[in-house]
Amino acid sequence: SQKIEQNSEALNIQEGKTATLTCNYTNYSPAYLQWYRQDPGRGPVFLLLIRENEKEKRKERLKVTFDTTLKQSLFHITASQPADSATYLCALEDWRGAQKLVFGQGTRLTINP
Amino acid sequence: DTGVSQDPRHKITKRGQNVTFRCDPISEHNRLYWYRQTLGQGPEFLTYFQNEAQLEKSRLLSDRFSAERPKGSFSTLEIQRTEQGDSAMYLCASSLVEGAYYEQYFGPGTRLTVT
């Protein structure tokens, strides 16, 4: 069966450290993978997109890697700040499927001052 | 603000009633999506439109659910004979699809509570 799983429901990190979130998928052949941020009571906000032929993508303090052999994406926030506290969602679009996003369940990240 | 808007933001209804939600996408976007999200889960795809054509519907979308996008602008999602299991956040998103890679812009959602 097809699955997309994020490594943990919740992650607590000390301010200033690097937060690393994991997204694993099974039985998908994604054209690309995306990461979104969602704050309580709000819709997800797009952060980064990484294509299947890209290994790494950066945007300010954010870095995403994509390993199609391991079927895994890692999402890093460096120099984390309390304002980075939110739920982070990974999502992929399967080449074989319709043009829709499939989301993981999300990881709730808390950055402690 | 030119983002995606949804109305209402909250809806409480009794079981068996019909409800309708509205989504106004970003004006130049040609694709519009509906998702449902329950607590602790990621959004689940329901349906999407390319301009005014509804191109796919999820198996989650039972006969009680219908969506429209007249004239390729705003969209409505109607749920008939609501059930308690319909309680969720209903999210709308839009995209400008010009190539193979695109992000989605989400609205704030409509939180439905069925009592």
Distance CA A80, CA A17 (A): 6
Radius of gyration of chain A (CA): 14
Distance CA B110, CA B11 (A): 7
Q: What is the pLDDT along chain A (113 residues), one digit of tens a residue?
A: 888 999 878 999 999 999 999 999 999 888 889 999 999 999 999 999 999 899 999 999 999 999 999 999 999 999 999 999 999 999 998 665 566 889 999 999 999 99
pLDDT at B96: 87
pLDDT at A96: 58
The model's pLDDT over B79-95, given as tens digits with 9 standing for 90+, comes to 999 999 999 999 999 99
Distance CA B112, CA A93 (A): 27
> Quick check: B100 and A31 CB within 8 A?
yes
The model's pLDDT over B30-78, given as tens digits with 9 standing for 90+, comes to 899 999 999 999 999 999 999 899 988 888 788 999 999 988 899 999 9
Distance CA A99, CA B76 (A): 20
User: Quick one: DSSP state of residue B85?
Assistant: G
Q: Which residues of B touch A89 (CB under 8 A)?
A: 42-43
Q: Is B48 on the interface with A (CB under 8 A)?
A: yes
> Which residues of A touch chain B, with CB atoms under 8 Å apart?
9, 31-32, 34, 36, 41-46, 49, 51, 89, 91, 98-106
Q: Is B109 on the interface with A (CB under 8 A)?
A: yes
Among chain B residues, the shortest Cα distance to A30 is held by B101
Opening angle at CA B101, ends B95 and B103, nearest 5: 40
Nearest to B108 among A31, A32, A42 (CB): A42
Q: Which token pair is B41?
A: 């889960």
> Quick check: A105 and B42 CB within 8 A?
yes
Which phi and psi (to 5°) does residue A82 adopt?
-55, -30
The residue with greater pLDDT, B15 or B54, is: B15
Q: Which token pair is B53?
A: 């054509």
